[in-house]
Structure 1
Amino acid sequence: MLNEIKAKTKERMLKTIQSFHDDMKGVRTGRANASLLDGIVVNIYGGHQKLNQVAGVSAIDNKTLSVKVWDATAIGEVKNAIINANLNLNPVVEGNTIRIVLPDLTQETREKLVKLLHQFSENARVAIRNIRRDVMEEIEEMKKNKEISEDDFHVAKKEIQNITDDNVKKVDDDLSIKEKDILHH
């Protein structure tokens, strides 16, 4: 029973970290990266499609992204979606391809991006701690109902805390790497 709880805890925390990574992908580092456009949704064909479902995105060099739109009639919608994504990008249409030259990041912009990263990391830490709290309540209830012994309770409590600490450290380490990437490029 406790092993199931630990496994479930690890899984939930892993999903939180994955969500944190997804949030970080959308933050520019100063280098062209196709994942920068991952969150863009295009209003097309009477619905909403993710950009990567209507176009291929690739980095040509450190400063330029290329968006190859598969359906030439959709190029205007794709361009508008990129403009409306509030990424401060200026797409230029060249046939079926949209070129995006990334502007250099100013120090002020870098600092804003780092603040945003810290916000994402704090949200992840809070989510991890909430998972810990839920699990701790669950094992305390088990102890109260005599489903587990006092010793098992203390061992489980310590293991859950270790899992929590490891995941919070992972968030902090990943934040540090991304922060350095932004500030030093």
Structure 2
Amino acid sequence: MSIADIKKTVEHKMLKSVEAFKNELAKIRTGRAHPGILDQVHVEYYGSMVPVSQVANVTLIDARNISVQPWEKGLGPKIEKAIRESDLGLNPSAQGDLIRVPMPPLTEERRRDLTKVVRGEGEDAKVAVRNLRRDANEQAKRLLKDKEITEDDERRSQDDIQKLTDRTIAEIDKLVQGKEAEILAV
């Protein structure tokens, strides 16, 4: 393994960490409706638990309402029950085959709690990135110890990895600030 391989690998893993963080942020509910909110809700379907999006069409009606259209007739009540029992604080209502899920407005206290959750998720993402940096630096030191690279190469690779880490952490901070602003917007 060369320095270039180490850099490419760590850059790829850091990008994946940022993507995972973006997915976590998408799950955090703001005042607006978002179909991805129901991704973590699972419903029983022929003996196995599957996400709602795999047994129904989940779409936005407007900024505050989500519609869930089951693909099979008998699934409506099961989906409604699964959404109600999830820890999302949603109260769906069935209208024939269509299930409407109104998004209740967030209280000021709940908004503050959500910003704390966002900061915590951001900190977890930063820790993951720092761990990747540490692993990459250890690989470079191993190459130096095995005399496959020079000390200058090892120092240069550490500097490059640090710059990559700084850029990634700055991107995570920017995402955290954006999500906080979105949550606190009334």
Shorter-chain TM range is over 0.9
Deviation at 1:52, TM superposition (A): 0.8
Q: How is 1:88-167 mapped onto 2 (pairs within 5 angstroms)?
A: 88-167=89-168
State the identity %: 36
Deviation at 1:84, TM superposition (A): 2.1
Q: How is 1:45-56 mapped onto 2 (pairs within 5 angstroms)?
A: 45-56=46-57
Q: Alpha carbon RMSD of aligned pairs, Å?
A: 1.0
> Letter of the aligned partner of 2:137 in structure 1?
M
Q: How is 1:1-185 mapped onto 2 (pairs within 5 angstroms)?
A: 1-185=2-186
Asked whether the 8 Å contact 1:70–1:96 carries over to 2, the reply is: no
Count of aligned pairs = 185
Q: Which 4+ residue blocks in structure 1 deviate beyond 4 angstroms?
A: none
In structure 2, C-alpha distance between the alignment counterparts of 1:170 and 1:143, rounded to whole Å: 31
Partner of 1:116, secondary structure, is helix
In structure 1, C-alpha distance between the alignment counterparts of 2:69 and 2:17, rounded to whole Å: 32
Deviation at 1:50, TM superposition (A): 1.3
Structure 1 gaps, min length 5: none
Deviation at 1:140, TM superposition (A): 0.8
> Letter of the aligned partner of 1:171 in structure 2?
I
Structure 2 gaps, min length 5: none
Calculate the TM-score normalised by the size of structure 1. 0.97
> Letter of the aligned partner of 1:43 in structure 2?
E
